[in-house]
Amino acid sequence: MRTSARLCTLVAATTIGLMTVAAPASAHVSVQPEGAAARGGYATVNVKVPNERDNASTVKVEMSLPAEHPLSSVMPEPVPGWEIEVAKSPLDKPLEVHGRKITEAVSKVTWTATGKGIEPGYFQKFPLSLGRLPENTDQLVLKSVQTYGNKEVVRWIEVPEEGREAEHPAPVLALSEADAGHGTAPSAGAAPTAAAQDSGVRKAEGDGTDTTARWLGVTGLLLGALGIAAALFTGRRRTGA
C-alpha cells in the first residue's frame, strides 16, 4: 500500500509539473502591421488587445505615441462599440510635410467601450494608419494602458530590454528598411482591407496550432510517466512475491 501511495504521489506531482510547463504565457497588448512598416513611409497597423481576465471586460485602451518620434499623420479607423478620442500636443520642433509645417502631433489615442467592451475569452483589434514613420530609429515603442470594468488597470509600459523578459512589455512596432514603394502617403480613397472591414472581435484562440501541439506533447509525457509508474509498481509486486 505504501508503494502504491508513493507512486500515486509521484504521478500527481508529475502531472502538475507538466501542466505548469504547458500553461501558455499571458497574452500582451501588441501592434501588428498589415504588410511592411518601412522607415520614412506610411503603414496600417492593428493594435491587438486580448482580455486576460475571467471576471471582467476590457472597457478602455489608451495608447501613447512617442514624443521623441512625432508622426504627422495618425488616423484611427472607427470600431463598432467603441468611442475614439485623439489627443494632440504641441511640438518643440515643427515638422515639414509636403511643403507645410506641422506644429502639433497626436500624442495619445483612447478607445472607450460604449457597449460590453472586450469580454473574457476574446480580443479586439483597433486599426490605425500611421505616418510618416521616422527614419532615425528601427522601432516605435507605443506604451499602452488597459482598463477593465472592475477598475483594474494594467500598464503595458515596460520598454523591452535584451536578455530580460518584461512582465508588462510595451507594444513595439518594428520598422523595416525604407524602399521606393513606401515614401508616399496612402490614398484617401483606398478600400479598407479585409482585416479592417472585420469588426476585430475574435475569440482568443490565439496560436491554436501551437497550443494543440503543446498539449499533445504534454499528453505524451504524461502517458510516459504513467507507464513508468506502472512498470515500477509491477516490478515491486513481482519482487515482493
Convert the pLDDT of each residue in 17-33 to its tens digit: 444 443 334 589 999 99
At 63-105, the pLDDT tens digits run 999 999 999 999 999 999 999 999 999 998 888 877 788 899 9
* Average pLDDT estimate for 41-50: 97
pLDDT-above-70 percentage for the chain: 63
Residues 6+ apart with CB under 8 A from 176: 36, 37, 38, 39
Task: Please give the CATH number for the structural domain made up of 30-202.
Answer: 2.60.40.2230
Q: Which of 148, 130, 142 is nearest to 170 (CA)?
A: 142
State yes or no: pLDDT of 199 exceeds 70.
Answer: no
Residues 6+ apart with CB under 8 A from 121: 51, 203, 204
Classify residue 200 by its DSSP letter: -
Q: What is the pLDDT at residue 124?
A: 98
Report d(CA 168, CA 56) in Å as an integer: 19
Report d(CA 165, CA 144) in Å as an integer: 17
Q: Which of 224, 35, 194, 55 is nearest to 130 (CA)?
A: 35
At 144-154, the pLDDT tens digits run 999 999 999 99
Q: What is the pLDDT at residue 160?
A: 79
Beta bridge partners of 108: 64, 87
Residue holding cell 489615442?
A: 109
CB atoms under 10 Å from CB of 76, counted, come to 19
State yes or no: pLDDT of 155 exceeds 80.
Answer: yes
Cell numbers standing for residue 27: 497574452
State yes or no: pLDDT of 39 exceeds 90.
Answer: yes
Q: How many Å is the Cα radius of gyration of the chain?
A: 25
Classify residue 133 by its DSSP letter: P
Identify the sign of the CA torsion 208, 210, 211, 215. Answer: positive
Report d(CA 56, CA 123) in Å as an integer: 13
Q: Containing H/E element for 8?
A: helix 2-22
pLDDT-above-90 percentage for the chain: 54
Report the chain's mean pLDDT, rounded to a whole number. Answer: 78
Domain ranges of the chain: 2-22+211-240, 30-202
* Average pLDDT estimate for 46-67: 97
